[in-house]
Chains A and B, each alone.
Chain A
């Protein structure tokens, strides 16, 4: 039944995916997209969407899974943003050639450091604009839902068969709630038929091979370009049908109050709403201004722009992106507009405003003064400066310095949750290793809240660099090599990452560094899920645990998989030192850190410590129980403390009479739903884990080594 709800942009997008009956969904968490897939996980677990929901270990795999699924004839979806889209890049270039209509939801966010942070702009999608994707940019949550439905219909049209990106502005739309009309499944089914491809299909009944052939490249590209010329007509046709069924349409571009306008502001995405208000107010004062919203940027709405350009004196283009060193220095959309209008008989003056990068507000004042400039330029017939940047003053940041700062390497007062045990582990790590340590971390709770912390200053007084998610051990390798080349050999290089950054997306670079015997210390602080993005399942999430991507519902019982044994994987690399640790046993941890520092200083190879850090927010327990729960994990043998030195395994904390695992699970909301059978599985896991660590008989070597 059709309903009207007040939901976020991410939720609207998820409803679109549900209604489109997508068959394979392979998401990977990244802010501000994650709640799209959290919601889809719930749809699947509650039986509202029949689909394969695959929790993957990186965006690179996420897109490869969607590609494979489409090649096998299934409709697929993934969502990402920012660096996640960056990590998909090579996969993005595989879709248009094979004409696979994968739809990707992108909650826009800046690419790169140190500018990026969490703010939305179009640097992510704009960098993927030349990969043969249809690119939609939506203004509202309703438009997000509707555009997902239309995107599948258009992308899968036999005349098109191209991948599509649906962009919603991160934060502005992804987390803002609006009224959204959610259509009925039957209505959508009538609009969007099943995907039944024949052109690129891996089918044992009719074998086909898909690979690379340089001599054919230009032919594929030419064909795709011909298709792109036809796509606007398909979009118009599909929109008409959508309008007749649902009563809404958006166009490739939308003119707003452009009748008799001299100056028209050109917008994309959520800034359009602000611009509409400004145009309304200026119109009330009799000023001849209007608005052109661009909804589709690939294919570019050349026809719509040419039609408008003939009637106005000035186009004032706002770009939430930049092409550094690009022709004329203007924004990317402005470049496209200039290109679309070049050689036309009557062309307006085109002004460019680069604004809102990093997600800064594009304010009414900015738009108002830009339109006034545009009006003046149109009347004079020229303008001195065609490109402007909206540069608001930098925020003035004030910090405090603790009174005992001289003794501290890590200041207190960081924005981590109250009772964060990872913060305690981090502080203990840095205090033990000392000031001659270079710290490399990927995005994770600790790097985002404890080291980057508050804007404008760092609460950690050692050299620190936040690298990309997949590259901690590689970046640490580089820093080690660079320091060595500068003869700074007496210090330590420390890579530290969460469980997702280690066991999932970071495992390739970690394995490489271990294999090369890089003299670095690597610490995984394991809070057993992606906590920084809001509790998604990782490779080390324990069996049965509830996360947002392993929900508990009629078809879901929490995580169906046992956790990945990272210490054993690292031990298989024959590195000189592997250990487990717990935040409840800090003296044990300090000894292991010192041992790790010793083997690294002796240049024997990589030292790996895997430490348990309970998370009150993600595991759902009261903040004061963090240490108690960590202790219980050791005492129930779910987290045995041991080390493997040069291949020799020894338990560093022997539990004489282990407690049942229920002592541990009963304190945590993430395990509240566990059935007797699930508890038995967890108990067996603990029993087998400790048995695998105990010597089989006197003098026998450990089964791990």
Chain B
């Protein structure tokens, strides 16, 4: 029998990286025009498209690309 151990796997999962964050992006929904650029450019892909964009803080590493790319400057980085 071949034991697959841990580096040959059919298990698909990940880890929470939210604890890495030093700054938390907060979307000001009043200003947000729903253009979707933050969703497009989030490296982790964790800004979800619901009625307005929603950030999944379980995974957000706080890189700030969303705030930098937002054309309306509707995302603020707040110290955790």
Q: Do A and B come from one complex?
A: yes
Interface residues of A (CB under 8 A from B): 113-115, 117, 394-395, 397, 399-404, 408, 410-416, 418-421, 423-424, 427, 452-461, 586, 616, 622-628
Contact assessment for A627 and B41 in the assembled complex, using a CB-CB cutoff below 8 Å: yes
* Contacts known (A394-B5, A418-B61, A624-B68); A412 close to B11, Cβ less than 8 A: no
A-side contacts of B59, CB under 8 Å: 402, 412-413
Asked if B67 CB lies within 8 Å of chain A CBs, one says yes
Asked if B71 CB lies within 8 Å of chain A CBs, one says no
Contact assessment for A395 and B6 in the assembled complex, using a CB-CB cutoff below 8 Å: yes
Interface residues of B (CB under 8 A from A): 5-9, 11-17, 20-21, 40-46, 48, 56, 58-59, 61-65, 67-69, 77
Contact assessment for A458 and B9 in the assembled complex, using a CB-CB cutoff below 8 Å: yes
* Contacts known (A421-B43, A423-B44, A586-B40); A624 close to B14, Cβ less than 8 A: no
Q: How far is the CB of B50 from chain A (nearest CB, A)?
A: 10
B-side contacts of A625, CB under 8 Å: 68
The CA-CA distance from A418 to B68 in the complex, in Å, is 14
Contact assessment for A419 and B63 in the assembled complex, using a CB-CB cutoff below 8 Å: yes
A-side contacts of B69, CB under 8 Å: 627-628
A-side contacts of B17, CB under 8 Å: 412-415
Partner of B58, one of A394, A413, A416, A457: A413
Partner of B15, one of A399, A420, A423, A626: A399
The CA-CA distance from A576 to B46 in the complex, in Å, is 35
Contact assessment for A424 and B14 in the assembled complex, using a CB-CB cutoff below 8 Å: no
The CA-CA distance from A36 to B9 in the complex, in Å, is 34
30 pairs, CB–CB < 8 Å, chain A vs chain B: A114-B5, A397-B6, A400-B13, A400-B58, A401-B14, A402-B59, A411-B13, A413-B14, A413-B17, A413-B58, A418-B20, A418-B62, A419-B61, A419-B63, A420-B43, A421-B43, A423-B43, A427-B43, A454-B14, A457-B9, A457-B13, A458-B12, A459-B12, A459-B13, A460-B12, A623-B65, A624-B67, A626-B65, A627-B65, A627-B68
A-B pairs, top 5 by smallest CB distance, nearest first, are: A399-B13, A624-B64, A419-B63, A418-B61, A114-B7
Q: A397's closest neighbor in chain B, by CB?
A: B6
A-side contacts of B21, CB under 8 Å: 418
B-side contacts of A412, CB under 8 Å: 14, 17, 44-46, 56, 59
Partner of B43, one of A117, A401, A424, A457: A424
A-side contacts of B61, CB under 8 Å: 418-419
Contact assessment for A402 and B14 in the assembled complex, using a CB-CB cutoff below 8 Å: yes
Contact assessment for B16 and A400 in the assembled complex, using a CB-CB cutoff below 8 Å: yes
A-side contacts of B65, CB under 8 Å: 419, 623-624, 626-627
Contact assessment for A404 and B15 in the assembled complex, using a CB-CB cutoff below 8 Å: no
A-side contacts of B7, CB under 8 Å: 113-115, 117, 452, 455
Q: How far is the CB of A431 from chain B (nearest CB, A)?
A: 8
Q: B10's closest neighbor in chain A, by CB?
A: A458
The CA-CA distance from A455 to B58 in the complex, in Å, is 19
A-side contacts of B6, CB under 8 Å: 394-395, 397, 455-457
The CA-CA distance from A459 to B13 in the complex, in Å, is 5
Q: How far is the CB of A234 from chain B (nearest CB, A)?
A: 44
The CA-CA distance from A627 to B42 in the complex, in Å, is 10
B-side contacts of A616, CB under 8 Å: 63
Q: B25's closest neighbor in chain A, by CB?
A: A624
Contact assessment for B68 and A459 in the assembled complex, using a CB-CB cutoff below 8 Å: no
Contact assessment for A404 and B43 in the assembled complex, using a CB-CB cutoff below 8 Å: no
A-side contacts of B13, CB under 8 Å: 399-401, 411, 457-459
B-side contacts of A414, CB under 8 Å: 14, 17, 44
Partner of A404, one of B5, B42, B48, B63: B48
Most buried by A among B12, B14, B15: B14
Q: A613's closest neighbor in chain B, by CB?
A: B43
Q: How far is the CB of A409 from chain B (nearest CB, A)?
A: 10
* Contacts known (A412-B56, A419-B61, A424-B41); A400 close to B14, Cβ less than 8 A: yes
A-side contacts of B48, CB under 8 Å: 404
Q: How far is the CB of B4 from chain A (nearest CB, A)?
A: 9
The CA-CA distance from A544 to B4 in the complex, in Å, is 46
With A415-B17, A418-B43 already in contact, 18 other A-B pairs whose C-beta atoms are closer than 8 Å: A400-B58, A401-B14, A403-B56, A411-B14, A418-B63, A419-B65, A421-B43, A424-B45, A427-B43, A455-B6, A457-B13, A458-B12, A459-B13, A586-B41, A624-B63, A626-B43, A627-B69, A628-B68
